[in-house]
């Protein structure tokens, strides 16, 4: 894809929301600039926001909990939103969800409520986008670059990241989609070494 002009290229600082449409056939790359940064990501069918990324449908359809090259990101209505076509990280999570001020109170301490969290950024992004999107449209997301293994005994663990500076994941849009990212601000979890960092997002037009 390196020979093709980028249609879009931006840096998303840690703690910031990002929202953008991707046209069917375009390629969408997220780059983990400094390593082990979680890019919490939601997708919607751009023409039917009821039809949105489904973590459960995605893992069930491929019978595997990890997202990587070849994974079709499935919607709630059973449609392929995007396909992962390149992945230098190797594994991405979709079971760990997005941090929230409320879940931080449960996981860490009730006094942590004031700390910035992904679902604040998701709300800011979709409320700014408008078009009727609201809280109930925020379903379970992808955590690009996060490593959340499950054991055969049914335990869920947060392991050190498998990502590193410059690792990226690239997707091809199978339909027109709306993408929303919260570049995770979490300061309570060692998975990002307590140091949230920027990510880069790029969109390319397809090669004829």
- For other proteins, the closer of residues 22 and 67 by Cβ is 67
- For other proteins, the closer of residues 27 and 144 by Cβ is 144
Measured between alpha carbons, how far is 14 from 68 in angstroms, rounded to an integer? Answer: 23
Minimum distance between the CB of residue 106 and other proteins, rounded to whole angstroms? 5
Radius of gyration over every alpha carbon of the chain, rounded to an integer in angstroms = 16
Sequence-distant (≥ 6) Cβ neighbours of residue 48 within 8 angstroms: 77
Minimum distance between the CB of residue 144 and other proteins, rounded to whole angstroms? 15
Minimum distance between the CB of residue 139 and other proteins, rounded to whole angstroms? 8
Minimum distance between the CB of residue 157 and other proteins, rounded to whole angstroms? 7
Minimum distance between the CB of residue 94 and other proteins, rounded to whole angstroms? 9
3-class DSSP state for residue 202? strand
- For other proteins, the closer of residues 24 and 113 by Cβ is 113
DSSP 83-100: EEEEESS--BBSSS----
What residues are paired with 88 via a beta bridge? Answer: none
Question: Residues in the site for other proteins, rule: CB under 8 A?
Answer: 49-51, 54-57, 59-60, 63-66, 76-78, 91, 95-98, 100, 102-103, 105-107, 109-110, 119, 135-137, 139-140, 148-152, 154-158
Cα dihedral 70→140→159→187 (10° resolution) = 130
- For other proteins, the closer of residues 106 and 164 by Cβ is 106
Measured between alpha carbons, how far is 53 from 86 in angstroms, rounded to an integer? Answer: 19
- For other proteins, the closer of residues 24 and 60 by Cβ is 60
């Amino acid at each position: 894809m390196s020979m093709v002009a980028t249609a879009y290229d931006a840096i998303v600082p840690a703690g910031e929301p990002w929202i953008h449409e991707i046209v069917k056939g375009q390629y969408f790359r997220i780059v983990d600039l400094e390593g082990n940064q979680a890019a919490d990501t939601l997708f919607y069918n751009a023409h039917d926001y009821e039809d949105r990324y489904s973590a459960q449908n995605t893992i069930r359809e491929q019978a595997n909990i990890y997202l990587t090259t070849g994974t079709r990101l499935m919607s709630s209505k059973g449609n392929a939103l995007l396909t992962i076509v390149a992945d230098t990280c190797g594994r991405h999570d979709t079971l760990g969800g997005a941090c929230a001020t409320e879940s931080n109170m449960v996981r860490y301490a009730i006094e942590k409520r004031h700390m910035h969290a992904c679902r604040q950024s998701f709300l800011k992004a979709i409320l700014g986008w408008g078009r009727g999107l609201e809280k109930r449209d925020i379903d379970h997301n992808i955590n690009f670059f996060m490593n959340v293994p499950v054991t055969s005994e049914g335990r869920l663990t947060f392991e050190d990241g498998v990502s590193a500076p410059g690792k990226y994941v690239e997707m091809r849009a199978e339909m027109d989609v709306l993408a929303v990212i919260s570049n995770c601000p979490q300061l309570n979890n060692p998975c990002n070494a307590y140091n949230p960092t920027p990510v880069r997002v790029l969109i390319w037009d397809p090669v004829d």
